[in-house]
Amino acid sequence: MGIRITFVALALWSATIAASDTKTSTVNPHGDKFDPVHEVFATVDDDVITVQAYRQYLQQAMRRKFYHGNVPEERIKAFRKEMADELVERVLLVHAAKQKNIAPDDKAVESRLAALDKKNAGKPGWEKHREPIVKTLRQRWREESQLQVLEAQVKNIAAPAPDGKRVRGFYENNKQKFTTPERVRVSLILLKVAPSSGTPAWNAAREEGKRLVERLRKNSSLKNFAELARIHSADPSAEHGGDMGFVHQGMLAAPVYKVLEKMKVDTVSDAISILQGVAIFRLNERQPPKLNSFESVKERARDLWLREKQREAWHDYTQSLRSNAKVTINESYL
């Protein structure tokens, strides 16, 4: 006999403490005279997922994913489908865990519920709705603990020896993963401008930056740059003559790194406006990308190989569950 999946208790609590977040869950293409608690959204073999269950699952996922709002409608539509598939997959995995007789971690679940009680003590509506909420969460968290064990079992793949043939092959086929990216050694003069400053302050910093650039281009030696950095720069690197050491892409803001990419060694940039103020860079050294030897990265190569194989095993497992199940989804709710 199948089960009916519903998050009604959580819906009640959500309505109590977050009434403003109901925009996603109130879409109803079938008119107002229907009961989302019992209306069927999907069937997975003999199990039923209610419209209410799907809406609550979608609502919570959207809060996590699109907390900033302003999401294009086409992205929302695709996300609805993703969450429907995810919810179906969860139902299949719960059944698989039960078939393998995987016991839930009740001790950990009760500890989480005790923490929830403590967190919500005294909040409006908590005592009134506590019982159904706890019942729903206890079931959900028990299932999650079972799924964690199931996933660990599926991903239990023996790691090969670090210098094994498979690891070596992975290294040869994924050399970009073991290549140290280009690094550049730069020095900086930062003319700091407070974020709240107005246009006059920014203009003054830009003018000062231009004057410093003119001086530096007449004498672009590292020694001269270091002397001016100690005098003018507000960056912590000033005490080292502006020397920031080696940096690579991702360590600096993208617009700054684009400037550095175009510069030649021993040259000085224009005065650049950045978030902290106006900056002048000197490119001191450029080190090209370097492929690390297999011997130096074989432990990491083994770990990455193992991680990839675990991902593949989990993906294949979930796909096999889906392909062997009878699933129907009422797409009018997507």
190-235 pLDDT per residue, tens: 999 998 899 999 999 999 999 999 999 999 899 999 999 999 999 9
- Predicted confidence (pLDDT) at residue 150 exceeds the cutoff of 60: yes
- Residue 133 CB neighbours (<10 A): 24
Q: What percent of the chain has pLDDT over 70?
A: 88
Q: What is the DSSP letter of 32?
A: S
Structural domain range at position 236: 183-287
Provide the token pair at 199: 């246009």
Query: Is residue 294, in this structure, part of any structural domain at all?
Result: no
Comparing CA positions, the residue from 259, 288, 269 lying closest to residue 184 is 288
Q: Give every CB contact of residue 202 below 8 A, 6+ residues apart in sequence.
A: 193, 273, 278
Predicted confidence band of residue 10 (pLDDT cuts 50, 70, 90): very low
Question: Which of 152, 123, 164, 281 has the alpha carbon at shortest distance from 216?
Answer: 281
For residue 60, the model assigns a pLDDT of 87
Number of domains the chain contains: 2
| Shared domain check, 119 and 22 | yes
Any domain includes 168 = no
Q: Are residues 134 and 191 in the same domain?
A: no
Does residue 303 belong to any structural domain of this protein? no
Residue 7 has pLDDT above 60, yes or no: no
Whole-number Cα distances in Å, 40 to 34, 136, 288, 319, 323:
11, 19, 59, 24, 21
pLDDT for residue 92 is more than 50: yes
Q: How far is residue 137's CA from residue 9's CA, in Å, rounded to a whole number? A: 9
Tell me the average pLDDT of the chain.
88
Question: In this predicted model, what pLDDT tens digit does every residue of 33-74 receive, in sequence order?
Answer: 556 667 999 999 999 999 998 998 898 888 888 876 677 888
Same domain, 153 and 8: yes
Q: How confident is the model at residue 14 (pLDDT cuts 50, 70, 90)?
A: very low
Asked if 280 and 209 touch (Cβ cutoff 8 Å), the reply is: yes
Residue 331 makes CB contacts below 8 A (sequence gap 6+) with none
What CATH number has the domain bearing residue 267?
3.10.50.40
**pLDDT (tens digit, 9 = 90+) per residue, 97-128?**
999 999 999 999 999 999 999 999 989 889 98
Please check whether residues 320 and 244 belong to one and the same domain.
no
Are 115 and 244 in the same domain? Answer: no
Same domain, 233 and 321: no
Residues 6+ apart with CB under 8 A from 223: none
List Cβ<8 Å contacts ≥24 apart for 161-168. 161/302, 162/298, 162/299, 162/301, 162/302, 163/294, 163/298, 164/302, 166/305, 167/298, 167/301, 167/302, 167/305, 168/294, 168/298, 168/301
The tokens describing 71, both together, are 């999401």
